[in-house]
């Protein structure tokens, strides 16, 4: 078991909340997806993807390789999101607060899982 376990649990909780908000995208999420040009026909993929990430993080509390894999996948996801914001010249709140903040949180969680006992 990873000790302390709370960074993985906290990020999992954020992922569950994000999945709920993406189910029927809240206006700010909808606008973000439109601004970066993410096709609406793929929006349905986001909630299951985020719930799978949450499940991987929770299971990773007891199985460290899964915590590392899931954290690395989230870092990759947010690097792609960052690239999409930059490509779309979307330099506002969505890039600097939401995307970059989540990239930092996921990167910190990955670093934590790599060094945790």
Domain ranges of the chain: 6-115
Q: Is the pLDDT of residue 117 over 70?
A: no
Joined together, the tokens standing for residue 93 give 């709140």
The predicted structure's pLDDT at residue 18: 95
Instruction: Report the pLDDT averaged over residues 89-98.
Output: 83
| Strand, coil or helix: 81 | helix
Please determine, for residue 97, whether its predicted confidence score (pLDDT) is greater than 90: no
Tell me what the pLDDT averaged over the chain comes to.
94
Could you report the per-residue pLDDT of 41-93, keeping only the tens digit for each?
A: 999 999 999 999 999 999 999 999 999 999 999 999 999 999 999 999 988 87
pTM for this predicted structure: 0.92
User: Cis before residue 115, ω within 30 degrees of 0?
Assistant: no
């Amino acid at each position: 078991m990873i000790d302390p376990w709370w960074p993985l649990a906290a990020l999992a909780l954020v992922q569950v909340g994000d999945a709920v908000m993406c189910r029927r995208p809240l206006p700010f999420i909808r606008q973000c997806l439109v601004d970066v040009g993410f096709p609406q026909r793929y929006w349905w993929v986001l909630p299951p993807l985020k719930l799978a990430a949450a499940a991987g993080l929770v299971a990773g509390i007891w199985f460290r390789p899964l915590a590392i894999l899931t954290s690395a996948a989230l870092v990759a996801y947010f690097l792609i999101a960052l690239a999409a914001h930059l490509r779309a010249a979307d330099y506002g709140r969505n890039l600097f607060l939401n995307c970059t903040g989540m990239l930092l949180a996921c990167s910190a969680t990955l670093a934590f899982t790599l060094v945790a006992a």
